[in-house]
Amino acid sequence: MTDFAISLENVSKSYRLWGRRSQFATLKSALLKRDLKLSPEQSVPALKDVSFAVDRGEAFGVIGRNGSGKSTLLKIISGILKPSGGKMIVNGRIAALIELGAGFHPEITGRENIYINGIMLGLSRRDIDERFDRIVEFSGIGDFLDQPVKTYSSGMYVRLGFAVAVHVDPDILLIDEVLAVGDEEFSARCIAKIQEMKLRGVTLVFVTHQLDQVRNLCDRAVWLDHGLVEAIGDPMRVVDSYLQEVSGAASSQLAEEDDRRAESPPLHEPRSDAADEERWGSGEILLKHVALTDSHGRELVAIGAGTPVTVDIDVEVRAPQEDFVFGLGIYHADGSCVYGTNTDVEGYAPQLLDANARIRFVVPSLDLVAGTYRIDAAVHTRNGRAFDYRRNVIRFIVGSRVHDVGVYRPKHEWRFEGGVTFKSIDTLRQNVPAQIAEAMREVEKPKRKK
């Protein structure tokens, strides 16, 4: 039993350039020039001696500038391209999200395309029958199911493509920038779905420019530059060195500033965070690490509505304090404040903070509506002087099956008395956390089949 999902040994790939004058040889010219050799004149290396292994169940990020060989790497792993040299072993069924809906035929209906696309991705007809309802529900295409795909909006097209691809139940999921498409709500659902697949032990390989996704979702990451592995390992470290390199190349002045920051300790440690994070304060107390975690202590970026979450704050004390307040604010993506509180307003009178500590803000049920949210974390004196204020330190996404609106979803249920009847009630749409809903779905499956 091997414990890796993907293993690459000295894999390299060169693209061939076919002739200088015309990109494509023609048979006529080949015959006229008596030159039927199928060897290219030149080749361009896209990957050079790339070696790494991805363990089963690992989430592996691939970052790098445009043209660094990221997509080539993904296409080689998926088997679309053959490596020019080296050895690659893949254990398990692969699904590649390289272009969503690539196999759709515009003239036939969504229903027929689901079947064809599913078969293309390696499912049998019976497999698709089983998954059909889930695919349709996830895609949210509704009444358009029996319309030709050419009538779909591009959003519907992509949603249907994603829905089919993730329901293949792959052992390994390759994702190439596809999460950048679609609206906020849909990409939240995509990320929630991917997180769910990760929990089920699916191996993930991500190609992305969204570095916070790499930091938050990935267990390890690789940084490719001009086809070479520049760094590999802990995603924080890899993203950091990538960012430094990128900003260094962009402006040497910035790099100098970075150095100065690194030398003057109080605040800006080299850990640069999402671009929109701001941080200020006098630095006697530092919020070293702020993370959103689940009940097992795993860091989250996507959360099912109504699930329990904790904000974990690692506090570093550089000078003991007797006057301190810890505070948190949750903001909607549009900037409006959803909730804010601190230890002072809730009656915690401070006495002494003289050693490193860990603060936990425990929320038994995160009753928010689907969307993107940000968190500010701060530690300050009671009159508001900040030791360390970290604005937008966490960005997270709430996913939900229910398409309700607003920000806050109070715990609720509907009760009916008198002459009210419903034809059917889709229990899956009621307010239950994603994982529980999934479990309910498993249980209900036999019932749903005729």
6: closest CA among 125, 167, 174? 174
Taking the C-alpha atoms of residue 145 and residue 148, their distance in angstroms, rounded to an integer, is 8
Q: How far is the CB of 42 from other proteins (least distance, A)?
A: 13
**d(Cα 25, Cα 66) in Å, to the nearest integer?**
28
Q: Which string of x and - marks every residue 52-91 that binds other proteins (by CB under 8 A)?
A: -----------------------x--xxxxx---------
User: With respect to other proteins, which residue has the nearer C-beta, 208 or 400?
Assistant: 208
* Contact with other proteins (CB under 8 A) among 88, 98, 255, 407: 98
Q: 126 or 423, CB closer to other proteins?
A: 126
SS3 category, 83:
coil
| Chain center to CA of 121 | 22
Report the residue from 27, 32, 349, 352 that binds other proteins according to the rule CB under 8 A: 27
Residue closer to other proteins by CB (options 157, 373) is 157
Given the rule CB under 8 A, which of 1-9, 95-103, 185-193, 225-233 is the region that contacts other proteins?
Answer: 95-103
Total residues at the site for other proteins (CB under 8 A)?
A: 34
CB of 48: closest distance to other proteins in angstroms?
Answer: 17
The verdict on 132 binding other proteins (CB under 8 A) reads no
Side-chain half-sphere CA neighbours of 16 within 13 A = 12
Residue 50: closest CA among 232, 241, 236: 232
The answer to whether residue 16 forms part of the interface with other proteins (CB under 8 A) is yes
- Does residue 178 touch other proteins according to CB under 8 A? no
- Count how many residues are written for the chain: 450
Residue in the block written with tokens 């679609």: 182
Smallest gap from residue 145 Cβ to other proteins (A): 16
Closest to other proteins by CB, 76 or 386: 76
Q: Closer CB to other proteins, residue 16 or residue 87?
A: 16
Q: Does 112 bind other proteins (CB under 8 A)?
A: yes
- Residue 261 near residue 376 (C-beta atoms within 8 A): no
* Residues ≥6 apart with Cβ < 8 Å to 161: 99, 100, 101, 102, 104, 117
List Cβ neighbours of 384 (8 Å cut-off, separation of 6 or more): none
Residues 140-169 contacting other proteins, CB under 8 A:
148
Q: With contact defined as beta carbons under 8 Å apart, do 163 and 83 qualify? A: no
CA separation for the pair 119, 124 (Å, rounded): 6
Contact pick of 35, 99, 183, 269 for other proteins (by CB under 8 A): 99
Q: How far apart are CA 324 and CA 321, in angstroms?
A: 7
Q: Is 107 in the site for other proteins (CB under 8 A)?
A: yes
Which residues contact other proteins (rule: CB under 8 A)?
15-16, 18, 24-28, 30, 38, 75, 78-82, 94, 96, 98-99, 102-103, 105, 107-108, 112, 115-116, 119-121, 124-125, 148
